[in-house]
Chains A and B, each alone.
Chain A
Amino acid sequence: MCLAQFQSSSGERSPNDMPANIKELFGTWFIGVVVGTVIIAVTSPLFLRSYAPLTVDSVRQVYTLSQTPRYRWRSEGYADSVIGPLGMPGRSDLPATKTDTLRVALWGDSQTEGVAVSDADKIYAQCERQSVERFTGDEFKQMVVLPFARSGEDAHDWVPQMSRIDEHLTVDVHVFFIAELVDLAAANQSRSNVQANNTKFAYSNYAPAFVIQAARNLFTTGDGAQPRRLRFSLGPTQTVSAPPPRKELTHDQITKVDWQTSIHAITGGTTKPVVIVYGPVVPSIVSGTVVAIDEHANEFERIKQAAFSNGVVVVDVRDDLLDAAGRGNWPHGFHNGQFGSGHLNKIGNEIVARGILRGVKQVMRRTDQGSN
C-alpha cells in the first residue's frame, strides 16, 4: 500500500537568514508595507464596493447618496453607477420639463435602486427605453423616469418625500415598485425629521474603501451593523439569534395590517396618480429547492382591493418573473451572487419596467377617459 511516508517538516526550506542590520530590516519592511498598501489601494476598486457619504437632500429631506460619477457595486452584480442630483442612482442630471414627455417618479428599495446593474440596465433606464421602443406612435408620450428609490427605504420614507417632490418638481405619476409587502405597511407610521445639512458616514470622504471595508470586517459582525464582540470566556456558548431586520414582520403581523389605511396614507401624500407594481422574489431558490409560490399572495389580494377603492393602479409581475425563470432566464441573482435569490438583475429589471409601463398606460388611459 502506498501510504504517505513521514517527511520532516514538509520538506520545507527555512527562509534565509534575516538581514543582520536592524535598520536595513525596518527600512525594507517599511518600504514593503507602503508599496503593498499602494498596490491594494490602486487595485481595490476592481473588487471592492464604494462607501459614499450620505447627505440630506434639500428637496427630499432625507439622506441620499452624495453626487458622484462612480458608485461601485461589486459583491452581487458588478456595476458602476452615477449618483446624480437628488441622490438619483443612474441619472447624472435632472431632465428639464418638456410638454411632450411624461414624468414618472419611481420609488422603492434596493431592488428598485439597482446599484448591482449598470445604469443602462436599471429599471428607470429600461422604462425610458421601452417607452420609446414599445409605444412610439401610440397615444403615450416618451417617459422620463426619476429614480428616487433608495436601499432600506419603505412607504414610511416615500410618503413625505412624494409631497416635497410634487412641490419642487414636475411629476405626472408616482410609481412604487414593491418586492416586500411590508414596505407598504409602513406608510401610515409617524416619522422624525432629519437634520438638514447633516452628513452620515462622512469618513468615507476621507478614508479609502479598502480601509473602511477592513475596519468593518474587523470591528463589526453580521451585516456590518453590530459591533464585534470578542469572546474569551469558556464554552459552550448559548446561541443567541440575532434580532430580526427592521423590515421583517411575522406572517401573523402582516395579516393584521390595515391596508386601507396604508394605501390611503400613500394617496394622501400626493395629488398625482399612483401606480403600485408588485414583484416579490419569485421564483426563489431556498436550500436547493425552487419556491414558486408567493407566501403573501392572500395579502396582495387585500392590497389590490384597498388600492382599487383608493383609485390606485396595481400591476402584478409575478407571472412574468415565473415565466422568465421557466425559460432559464432567472430574474433575480447574479453570477457573483446566487440565482433565485437577492436582487433583480438585468432581466428582472426589464420585466419590472414592462410592468411599470403597463401601469402607467392604465393610469393615462384613465386620465384621458376622465378628461373626455
Chain B
Amino acid sequence: MLFTQLEFPIFFAIILIAAWLSRGRTLRNTLLLVASYYFYAHWDYRFCVLLMLSTAVDFVVAKQIHRSENEVFRRRMLLISLVINLGMLGYFKYCDFFIASARPLLQACGLSGETLGIILPVGISFFTFQTLSYTIDVYRRKLAPTNSLLDFALFVAFFPQLVAGPIVRARELLPQLAAVPKFSRRRMYGGAQQMLRGAAKKILIADRLGEMVDVVFAGPELYSGLTIWIAVIAYAGQIYYDFAGYSDIAIGAAKMLGYRFPANFRHPYLATSMGDFWHRWHMTLSRWLRDYVYVSLGGNRNGHWQTYRNLLLTMTLGGLWHGAAWTFLLWGLWHGISLAIEKAGATTKRMPRLLGWVMTMFIVLVGWILFRCAGDLPQATAMIQQMATFSKGIAWYPPLAIGAIAVMVLEHLAWRTPLRKAMRLPSDRWYSPIATTILLWALVIYAPQQFSPFVYFQF
C-alpha cells in the first residue's frame, strides 16, 4: 500500500480513529501492530515472516547480551544478530548481484552463473538497520532491552516508517511506545499538514520531474547537453522531493498517532560542503552509518589516513546499501572521496560560500548521474561528457519539469526567510485554510491514475 494510493487515507483514517478510541497501551499497541502487519502483508503476506524473524532474533539476542557480563558470549550473541540480519539482507538484496558480477568466474568453474530472480522484500534495508541498531545499542550498553515483545515488534514493524524510513532508533521510539500518548489537537493538525505537504512534494513535484527524467535517462544520447543538464537537475529534485515527501507523510502519520519521528531532510541543496550535505540528506541513514559503521571502524581516532579510509569504507557501504549495482557502490565511493578530500583540508570550508555551494552541487549532481544510471557506467560517463560539451541533440524543455525545478529553487531559498514559517501553514493564519484547499484540489487533480511508486521503495 503506497502512501499516495487511495487505499492509504482510508486505512489510515480507520486506524487513527481506532487508535485514539482504544483504551490502554496494550490494546493500542496491539492494534497498531496488527495494522502494521496488515500494511506490510497488503504488499506480500509471505514476507511478514522476515519481519517476525528479525523481531524475534533481536528481541531474544538483546536480552541475552544485556544479561551477560561475559564479553565473549555477548560478542557471539551480537554476531548471531549481525549474521541473521545481514544474511537476510545479503541474500535478498545482493545475492543476484554477486552472482551476476561473478558470472565469468562461476562459468569457468562449470557453474551456470544464472541469477536466482530473488524478489526484494519492500523495506528490508530499513527494518534490518533498525533492529540492528537496537541490538548494537544494547551491546554498547547505551540502551536497556525492552521486556515487552509487543512494543519491540511494533518498533520494528510500525507502518509509517516500515518500508522506507526514517530509520528510527529504539531509544527514540521504544520509550514512546511504552506509554499511551496524549491527544493533542495541535499535533493532529501539525501531522495532517505535514502529510499534506509530503503528498504535495511527491505528486506535484517529484512525479512531474520524473516524467522528464525517465525519458531522458532512457536514451540520453538523443538529447542536447542542455536538456541533459535540466534532466539531471530534475532528477536531483525528483529523488529529494520523492523521498522527503515520503518522510513527511511518515512523520506526519506518526505525529497524528501521537509519536515523534526524527527528521530525515533539511533542504540538502542549500549545503555549502559535502559534510554539510550529509547533515541535511537522509539524516537518519547518515547518523546510522556514522554511529554503527564509521565509529565501529575507528572513526577519526587513529590518525588522518585511517580517518580517510573509514570515510571511504562507510560511504561505499552506504552506496551499496542503496542498491545492488556497481554504480551505487561508485556513488558511495564518490561521496566518500569528496568527504575525505574535504576532511584533508583542500576543502570548501575555506572557500567563499557561493563557490562552496557550486562545488558541492557539482559533486552531488555528478553523483546523482551515477546513482540514476544504476548498472550502466558507460551511459553515466557519456552523459557527463554530453553535459561538459553541451552536445547537440533534441532540445526538449518540458514546462512542467522546469516549473517544478523553479519551485524547488524557490522553496529552498524561502527556507532561509520568514516565509519558512508560513510554508508550514500554521492553524492560526488566515491563509492556511485557503492554501490547504488549493493543495488538496491540486493533489486530486494531479493524483496518479497509474501506479507511481516512491523511488526509495526499491532500496
B279 close to A5 (CB less than 8 A): yes
A15 close to B190 (CB less than 8 A): yes
A7 close to B44 (CB less than 8 A): no
A370 within 8 A of B: no
B117 within 8 A of A: no
* Nearest CB of A to B286, in Å: 4
B residues 236-284 in Cβ contact with A at 8 Å: 251, 260-264, 266, 273-276, 278-281, 283-284
* Nearest CB of A to B403, in Å: 10
Report how far A228 CA is from B286 CA in the complex, Å: 40
Closest to A236 in B: B44
Report how far A217 CA is from B204 CA in the complex, Å: 14
A194 within 8 A of B: no
Which residues of the other chain, A, contact B260 by a CB distance below 8 angstroms?
A: 8-9
Report how far A36 CA is from B441 CA in the complex, Å: 9
Chain A contact residues, majority secondary structure:
loop
B263 close to A1 (CB less than 8 A): no
A152 within 8 A of B: no
B7 close to A230 (CB less than 8 A): yes
Which residues of the other chain, B, contact A2 by a CB distance below 8 angstroms?
A: 273-276, 278-279, 339, 342
A35 within 8 A of B: yes
Partner of B444, one of A11, A218, A290: A218
A288 close to B222 (CB less than 8 A): yes
Interface residues on B, range: 35 or more
A-B contact number at CB 8 A: 202
A202 within 8 A of B: no
Using known A-B contacts A32-B434, A40-B438, determine if residue A6 contacts B287 with beta carbons closer than 8 Å. yes
A230 close to B10 (CB less than 8 A): yes
Using known A-B contacts A1-B339, A13-B424, A16-B428, determine if residue A288 contacts B279 with beta carbons closer than 8 Å. no
Which residues of the other chain, A, contact B217 by a CB distance below 8 angstroms?
A: 288
Interface centre among B7, B42, B310, B425 (most CB of A within 10 A): B42
Which residues of the other chain, A, contact B397 by a CB distance below 8 angstroms?
A: 335
Closest to A33 in B: B437
* Nearest CB of A to B3, in Å: 15
Report how far A223 CA is from B397 CA in the complex, Å: 25
Which residues of the other chain, B, contact A28 by a CB distance below 8 angstroms?
A: 430, 433
Partner of A4, one of B251, B286, B430: B286
* Nearest CB of A to B117, in Å: 14
A residues 18-40 in Cβ contact with B at 8 Å: 18-19, 28-29, 31-33, 35-37, 39-40
A222 close to B449 (CB less than 8 A): yes
A4 close to B449 (CB less than 8 A): no
B42 close to A232 (CB less than 8 A): yes
B44 close to A288 (CB less than 8 A): no
Which residues of the other chain, A, contact B185 by a CB distance below 8 angstroms?
A: 18
B343 within 8 A of A: yes
Partner of B447, one of A7, A19, A217, A222: A217
Chain B contact residues, majority secondary structure:
helix
B45 close to A10 (CB less than 8 A): no
Which residues of the other chain, B, contact A13 by a CB distance below 8 angstroms?
A: 421, 424
B187 within 8 A of A: yes
Interface centre among A10, A40, A224, A232 (most CB of B within 10 A): A10
Using known A-B contacts A3-B294, A217-B444, determine if residue A18 contacts B189 with beta carbons closer than 8 Å. yes
A210 within 8 A of B: yes
B435 within 8 A of A: yes
A289 within 8 A of B: yes
Which residues of the other chain, B, contact A12 by a CB distance below 8 angstroms?
A: 190, 194, 263, 424
B residues 396-436 in Cβ contact with A at 8 Å: 396-400, 421, 424-428, 430, 432-436
* Nearest CB of B to A234, in Å: 4
B290 close to A4 (CB less than 8 A): yes
A132 within 8 A of B: no
Closest to A221 in B: B449
* Nearest CB of B to A3, in Å: 4
B266 close to A1 (CB less than 8 A): no
B424 close to A236 (CB less than 8 A): no
* Nearest CB of A to B12, in Å: 13
Which residues of the other chain, B, contact A233 by a CB distance below 8 angstroms?
A: 42
B222 close to A36 (CB less than 8 A): no
Closest to A209 in B: B445
* Nearest CB of B to A350, in Å: 19
Which residues of the other chain, A, contact B425 by a CB distance below 8 angstroms?
A: 15
B433 close to A15 (CB less than 8 A): no
* Nearest CB of A to B287, in Å: 5
Which residues of the other chain, A, contact B141 by a CB distance below 8 angstroms?
A: none
Report how far A356 CA is from B38 CA in the complex, Å: 61
B residues 289-345 in Cβ contact with A at 8 Å: 289-290, 294, 299-300, 307, 310-311, 314, 339, 342-343
B residues 29-67 in Cβ contact with A at 8 Å: 38, 41-46
B450 close to A222 (CB less than 8 A): yes
A195 within 8 A of B: no
Report how far A213 CA is from B446 CA in the complex, Å: 9
Using known A-B contacts A31-B433, A36-B436, A330-B394, determine if residue A11 contacts B263 with beta carbons closer than 8 Å. yes
Q: Which 9 A-B pairs have the closest CB atoms?
A: A32-B433, A288-B219, A36-B437, A10-B263, A2-B275, A288-B218, A3-B290, A4-B283, A217-B447
Q: Which residues of A contact B (CB under 8 A)?
A: 1-19, 28-29, 31-33, 35-37, 39-40, 44, 48, 210, 213-214, 216-218, 220-224, 228, 230-236, 285, 287-290, 328, 330, 335-336, 338-340
Apart from the given pairs A31-B433, A32-B430, 5 other A-B contacts in the complex at a CB distance below 8 Å: A14-B187, A17-B428, A18-B189, A235-B43, A336-B400
The contact sample of 20 A-B pairs, CB cut-off 8 A, is A1-B299, A3-B278, A3-B279, A6-B172, A7-B262, A15-B189, A15-B425, A18-B428, A19-B428, A32-B437, A33-B433, A35-B437, A37-B437, A44-B445, A217-B444, A235-B41, A236-B43, A285-B222, A288-B219, A335-B396
